[in-house]
Amino acid sequence: MKKKYVWTISLFFFLFHQIAIKYNFSNPLLDSWLDPLLFIPVLIGGIEIFLKSLCDDFTLKPIFIYSFATVSVILFEIIIPSYDNRFTSDLLDGFAIFTGTWIYLKSY
């Protein structure tokens, strides 16, 4: 599946989930896993699509994407929860972030 399609599907599910939360639909499994899973495909996919519109042969290297995912896990699952009680440290979210990264990178 092309990266553009992965981005579109991920963005659709992310927005659908946020709208569902706004209207008080809650599912513990989706609330815990869906946003971290879709984080990299939505963010990096959007950036890559935008930059490809400016330069046709632009592609982000996998090492950059994995590095971004690693920094995101360290920041959002380790550092921020240790300073702010509103956030919890859940390393399974880190697993979800890396799963989303892997899915995005396996698309061509």
pTM: 0.90
Q: At what angle do helices 28-54 and 62-74 cross, to 10 degrees?
A: 140
pLDDT in tens, 62-72: 999 999 999 99
Q: Which residue has the tokens 């995005």?
A: 104
Residues in the chain: 108
pLDDT in tens, 11-51: 999 999 999 999 999 888 888 899 999 999 999 999 999 99
- Measured CA to CA, the distance from residue 17 to residue 71 in angstroms comes to 25
Asked whether the beta carbons of 18 and 1 are under 8 A apart, the reply is no
pLDDT in tens, 56-94: 889 999 999 999 999 999 999 999 999 999 988 888 999
